[in-house]
Structure 1
Amino acid sequence: MVTSKFGMSRNILREKRAGNSDRVTFVELFFDLVFVLAITQLSALLSNEPNGWGFAQTVLICLAVWWLWVYTSWATNWLDPDTRPVLWLLLLLMAVALVLSSSIPGAFGSKGLIFAGAYVLYQLIRTVFVIVASARHRAVVADGQKRILIWLAVSAPFWLVGALQEERLRLLLWAIALAIDYLGPATLFWLPKRGRSSWEAWQIRGAHFAERAALFIIIVLGESILVTGRSLTGDELTPESALAFTSAFASSVALWLLYFAHGERGGTSFIKAKESTGPVARVSYTYLHVVLVIGIVITTHGHEVTSHHPLEEASLSTLAFAAVGPAIYLVGNIAFKASVGIRPRLLPGHIAGTFAYLVLYVLVAAGALHLTALALSWVATGILIAVVTVDERLWRRRQVPTTSPSEQLAL
């Protein structure tokens, strides 16, 4: 039942739940499954045009998919998914996201309107629901969501009109729509005559939000494991395919370690210690995590290309996947870790690794270094392994006490 004040009479917010309100619920994990398909479809989109144009398309769609997911994570941080209304909301959003995900390979072709329509509909359903659910019990959150609705009214025409244009103009209009969507949180959803919203409207449970972001990284890394498995099952097993498989698997492990060995725990501790969690959630988890996602998606596709043609000379597109993807991931890691209190000077491996990928790209692109796709894959993976090794050694060194036990007692 909806009250006359445009709010639900029943309180379905997490704050009223007894016990551990930071727990990620099973329905949230079930909801995430539909985004496994979305990430898989991104690789299909990149396969359609393995060049700069396809790269731009893939990045744009990846940003859009992430925006849907992360906004829903904000919503379920306030709402209690164990209540039936929120459960049905997530199931409905899953259905819309499934339609959107299935349209990704044709988003710049015949399925553009399906993609754009599903994107706008998803945003509309979720935002209106949060407004209704929070209006009575937490009005400040509802006010923030109303601002989102106004910003959506500005970006939606670009999504829908863009879907009716030829693909290059479509990319431009969708880029404008996405820029509007991404600018919203940066300005705290500024409105004429009303200014910015308060940070109170974006106060969240830090531990829950950090865990949700980490789980999405797991989803994207899961796609890299699927690619690795397909490289063994799809083709006849040869020494070359076995080496490509080993490189892909080692790369996935390295990507996992660079985020989960120290960064993820540091981020969780950092946001939990903050009295105002909204600023950290906005920068560290809403904006910076998508850089990690893009890096993994591109790196994974590079391994998929290598598994099919390991002995061919590396093309410029293969080079971009092998060198640019991991570089983006390292830059994202540096930015994320710096945003949660880990100083860049403590990440020399990350910085050196990024520089190494730049040098690798220049050498191969300029023709000064000729490598097969398999050799390039191993060089790229070797850089990641070196970064992990340096990072782990420095971390262990920082854990060694600089004073003797007797001096520690005296202190």
Structure 2
Amino acid sequence: MEDEELAKSLLVTQQPGNIRISNGFGSNDTGASASGVTTVLLLSAFVTACSAFAGGFVAGYSAPAESGIIDDLGLSVAEYSVFGSIMTIGGMIGAVISGKLADIIGRKNTMWILDIFYIMGWLAIYFAKAMMPLSVSVAYLIGSVINWRALALIGAIPCLLLLFGLFFIPESPRWLAKIGREKEFEAALQRLRGKNVNISDEAADIKDYTENIQKIPEDKILDLFQQKYAHLLIVGIGLMVLQQFGGLNGYAYYMNEIFELAGVPSITGFIVVSIPQIPAITLGSILIEKFGRRTLLMVTVTGECLGCFLTGLSFVLQVFEAFYSLGVGSIPWIIISEIFPITKKGSAGSICNAVNWFCNWLVSFTFNFLVEWSPAGTFFIYGSMSFLGVLFIAKLVPETKGRTLEEIQASLTHILQ
């Protein structure tokens, strides 16, 4: 009980209105006003964005590169299924170890290690059986380079920017404070805020928060497997399974094959499918605050179900993509972040993330085999899974918007009675 009370006090302390950042420019002003945006802060944000872009590029690479890789390297369906899904194996491992690794060696060092693996992966793709294209015509060689080898080099660009950018940004001040490196903590925070900004109030807040966090017992995964957390785990894991078994990553990794089955030029298909996603994401961020998480999730999973069946009948893929972007892609993560106590968020996040990646692998690995069996049947299976997802949400998933943890847990108890 004491741990939960401490956790609640931490949440209150860390509300945006309670965090003090002085802008006294060397003075002793203690007013709660935000400092200006600095070059180092912008650079840090850019480097972090490069990391996200690198991950997204990996996820999207296999779709446009599929036909070129299969033709040039002579891969079978099974071999390309391994290629298309192998990223998810790394995702499963990363979901379990990345948090602990970042706590032990720091955020920057963790990003460096991961980025080196990114670059090695792209170079391995680029140089895969590099001598084979010499036996074909020059035109075919140039075409293959443009189609997928050059794409691999483009994918390495944000990785290189990340690699060199990390030399010019400071380590996370909160991590430095956590491990007791006082001088480096203050220096890093000063660099982020600007050399003339008074950081004393913000530094004190971070130290207080770090000291209180360390009083909470270590978050252990096995602690989650208790009766009182069973309902939360069912919801969290169920949402991850629902998100992946709708078939999104089967579509994403092998979209080029879907367009070929539909008789649609790949470039035209990619453009048509991509157009609805940006407005759908924007609209989703507005609707989620107006209608709540549960309602929007039910609507978008229903739309995703409809999109699967339409794709099975006539390859209308953009309906599925639009509804996924509108809510299915983001809302499960939001709900998971809101239903678990702060003392269990880390472990719960690791479990749910690992399940998500495992389901991602299962869908992406089996997609080609299912399509060979029956293209339409594949999408009807995914549509049926989405329909089961609608029933799951209606029966088990609580609304979390504007509710305390106690209210969420009470609603879960009521739902499961």
Is TM-score (shorter-chain normalized) higher than 0.5?
Answer: no
TM range, smaller chain: 0.3 to 0.5
- Which has the bigger relative contact order, CA under 8 A and spacing at least 6? 2
TM-score under structure 2 length normalisation: 0.35
Structure 1 or 2, whichever has the larger Rg, is 2
TM-score under structure 1 length normalisation: 0.35
